[in-house]
Amino acid sequence: MAHYRLHCIGASGNSYKVALYLNCAGLDWEPVGVDFAGGETRTADWRAGTNAMGEVPVLEVAGMRMSQSGAILMWLAETVGKFAPADDQRFEALRWLLFDNHRFTNNYAMHRIQNRFTPQAASEDIYKVVASAVAKTT
C-alpha cells in the first residue's frame, strides 16, 4: 500500500489539485476511487469512516484523514517541505489558496457540473455568475 491514499473522483478539480501536488512532489501515493455519482459520499458509513462532510478529496496518511484541498495542500507543503512557502510568505500562500477555492473553483465547478454531468444545459444565469466572479478578480 502506498504511503498516501487520495480518496477522489476523476471529475473533481479539487481532487486534481492534490493529485498534482503528490505527483510533482514525487510522493508514493495511490488514488482511491469514490463512487460520487452513485451516492457513496452520502452514506452513513462513508461519512463516519472517511469524511463527515461527505466531500472529496480526502487524503489518508498514517491513519489520519484530511479533507478540503486547500488545507491538504498547505499540510503537505509544510509536512513534506516541497513547494512550501517561506515563513514570511505563508499567509500569502494561504490567501491565494482560499482565493482559488472561493472565487474560481467554486464558480467554475458549478458551471462544469451543470454542463457536463447533468442532462439539461445550464441556465444562462450561471454564465452571469461566473462572469461576475471573474470581473471582480481583475
Helix (H) or strand (E) run with residue 15 in it: helix 13-24
Under the banding of pLDDT at 50, 70 and 90, the label for residue 117 is low
Tell which CATH architecture fits domain 4-84. Answer: 3-Layer(aba) Sandwich (3.40)
Task: With a cut of 80, say whether residue 14 has pLDDT above it.
Answer: yes
Q: If pLDDT is split at 50, 70 and 90, which confidence band does 18 have?
A: very high
Mean pLDDT of 100-111: 72
* Cα–Cα distance for residue pair 53/130, rounded to 1 Å: 25
Q: Where are the domains of the chain?
A: 4-84, 88-137
The three grid cell numbers given for residue 38, joined into one nine-digit string: 452513485
The residue among 110 and 80 whose pLDDT is bigger is: 80
Cross-strand bridge partners of residue 8: 33
Q: What average pLDDT does the structure give for the chain?
A: 84
With a pLDDT cut of 90, the percent of the chain lying above it is: 46
Query: What mean pLDDT is predicted for residues 62-81?
Result: 93
